[in-house]
Amino acid sequence: MKNYKNKQIGLILIGLMIVMAIIMASVPGIRNRLLWRWEIARAYMGGVVNPVEAIPTAKPAVNTEEVIKQPTYTVTPTVTLKSTLTAEPTATPQPSPTPLPEQVRLNSPAYELQDINNCGPATLAMYLRYYGWEGDQFTISDIIKPIPQDRNVNIEELDYYVKNYAGWLNTIYRVGGDLELLKQLTAAGFPVLIEETFRFEETYWPNDDRWAGHYLLVNGYDDQNQVFLTQDSYKGADLWVPYEELDRNWQAFNRVYTLVYLPEQEEQLKAILGKNWDADANRQHALEVAEMETENDPQNTFAWFNLGSNLVYFEEYDDAGLAYDKARNIGWPQRMLRYQFGPFLAYFHDLRNEDLMSLVEYALERTPNSEEALLWQGWGLYRAGDKQAAIESFQKAIEAHPDYVDAIYGLNYVLEN
């Protein structure tokens, strides 16, 4: 009889635990964290079964006489391509009419602690609050990142959100920024959103280098202490970051920066940016900076990667591929292709399909649901003549990111040709 009662109590407790688990899983924040712990466990087991190796080295280029018909690739939100500029003197910001103050501290917006994989929407939410916006990170991520497991939000996607869902504000993003420009902008009252290097606290697979991308909002500086005031959606509010550290982390992303501003502030912003206001001139400037950095520090993988990315912008795919080859041989971080996709474009357009496929395979080993890697895997498979596999890859990209325009275009193109 006693054993029977104990069994009953045990079953009741198990039932209560199941009910509690269901209730907890129905709460978005708790559900997301349970999913995240599952993702960590799955990633680690994947790393045990399929250990992380070095980035594949470049294959010898082959001149192809007969090439499968290339799709007319539309300009996408992910990468913008422009014609090559005639070389001009380096575009630099206009000198300030008066010396900059030694210290600037713009009002810090209400802090937003990021949810999982959500530093982009969280940082943009803080930026928009500076102008009186009343949403939060989920207001943004519901539009541009509807699936929580999506590990990356591109700068172009943040740009898209502001232009389409914060209509009273304007926004631009540029590359090749520098510390003096950050100071000029904040001194003029403009916070600046940048993308930079981040180091995970946890290990996600054996031999994990813990390198990742992250967004940061800069809203002040202090020359005496050589630090910038930042809002970090992961680490906390009002954190001071040394100039040298910020620049080193920023370089990995071509020193990209986003500016959000009121329409009546546009002329003021143009005066600060000078030639960098023009997107082509700005990219030419970034190209020259990258070239200089490869000469000054030839073993810096990020300098070579940035050189390749700026050459891709000008559709110089052959030279871009060579720059990426150099970066690969030096060795870039394990998650690099989670955030930046210039090598896919360079190798695809330079007819280096073997290199393209080896890189997308590596990228998908690290980030299986990367819609960008799945997209370029689809194009690589199509070029290799495997139409059905290409269709499946495009479909997986759409599953990973519903309404992904590039993958929908690729799928329709392959189905119709």
Residue, of 11 and 392, whose pLDDT is higher: 392
3-state class (DSSP) for residue 245: helix
Query: What is d(CA 157, CA 239) in angstroms, rounded to the nearest whole number?
Result: 26
CATH assignment of 51-79+282-416, among 1.20.120.450, 1.25.40.10, 3.40.50.300, 3.40.50.11810 = 1.25.40.10
Amino acid letter at 179? L
- Average pLDDT over the chain, rounded to an integer: 87
Per this entry, what is the length of the chain? 417
54 pLDDT band, cuts 50/70/90, is confident
Whether pLDDT at 235 is above 90: yes
- Determine what percent of the chain is predicted with pLDDT higher than 90: 75
Residue 373 predicted with pLDDT over 50? yes
Q: Residue 56: is its pLDDT beyond 90?
A: no
Which residues make beta-bridge pairs with 259?
172
Q: What is the pLDDT of residues 295-323, one digit of tens each?
A: 999 999 999 999 999 999 999 999 999 99
Q: What was the pLDDT predicted at 58?
A: 80
pLDDT of residue 290: 99
pLDDT band with cut points at 50, 70 and 90 for residue 378: very high
Whether the pLDDT of residue 366 is over 70: the answer is yes
Phi, psi (degrees; rounded to nearest 5) at 42: -65, -40
**What are the phi and psi torsion angles at 90 (to 5°)?**
-50, 130
Rounded to whole angstroms, how far apart are CA atoms 169 and 134? 13
pLDDT band at residue 13, thresholds of 50, 70 and 90? low
Which residue ranges make up each domain of the chain?
2-45, 51-79+282-416, 103-277
Write down the H helix ranges in 27-146.
28-49, 119-129, 137-144
Is 1 a residue whose pLDDT tops 50?
yes
Q: Given 1.20.120.140, 3.90.70.10, 3.30.930.10, 1.10.540.10, which CATH number is that of 103-277?
A: 3.90.70.10
Tokens of 190: 């403009």
Check pLDDT > 90 for residue 94.
Answer: no
DSSP 149: T
Q: Which of 161, 178, 229, 146 is nearest to 404 (CA)?
A: 146
Among 363, 327, 353, 325, which residue's Cα sits nearest to residue 52? 363
CA 326 – CA 321 distance, rounded (Å):
9
Residue 206 per-residue DSSP state: T
pLDDT tens, 158-216? 999 999 999 899 999 999 999 999 999 999 999 999 999 999 999 999 999 999 999 99
User: What's the predicted TM-score (pTM) here?
Assistant: 0.83
Average the pLDDT over 2-12 and give the result: 59
Separation CA 172–CA 163 (nearest Å): 9
Q: Is the pLDDT of residue 43 over 80?
A: no
Backbone angles phi, psi at 67, to 5 degrees: -125, 135
> What is the token pair recorded at 169?
């504000």
CA distance 113 to 126: 10
How far apart are alpha carbons 309 and 316 in whole angstroms? 10
Q: Average pLDDT for residues 93-106, to the nearest whole number? A: 80
Q: Which residue has the higher pLDDT, 149 or 91?
A: 149
Exposed/middle/buried for residue 208 (C-beta within 10 Å: 0-12, 13-18, 19+): middle
Local structure of residue 239 (DSSP, 8 states): E
Tokens representing residue 203 in the block: 């290990």
**Residue 165 backbone phi and psi in degrees, to 5:** -130, 5
Q: Where are the beta strands (DSSP E) in 50-203?
A: 103-105, 170-174, 192-199
pLDDT for the residue 23: 52
Asked if residues 126 and 233 have their Cβ atoms less than 8 Å apart, the reply is yes
Lowest-confidence range among 67-71, 246-250, 364-368?
Answer: 67-71
pLDDT for position 98: 77
pLDDT mean over 259-280: 98
Distance, in Å, from the CA atom of 320 to the CA atom of 308, rounded to the nearest integer, reads: 4
Q: Select from 380, 386, 388, 351 the least CA-distant residue to 363.
A: 380
Q: What is the dihedral of CA 161, 164, 166, 169, to 10 degrees?
A: 100
Q: Is the pLDDT of residue 400 over 70?
A: yes
SS3 content of the chain, % helix, strand, coil (to 5): 55, 10, 35
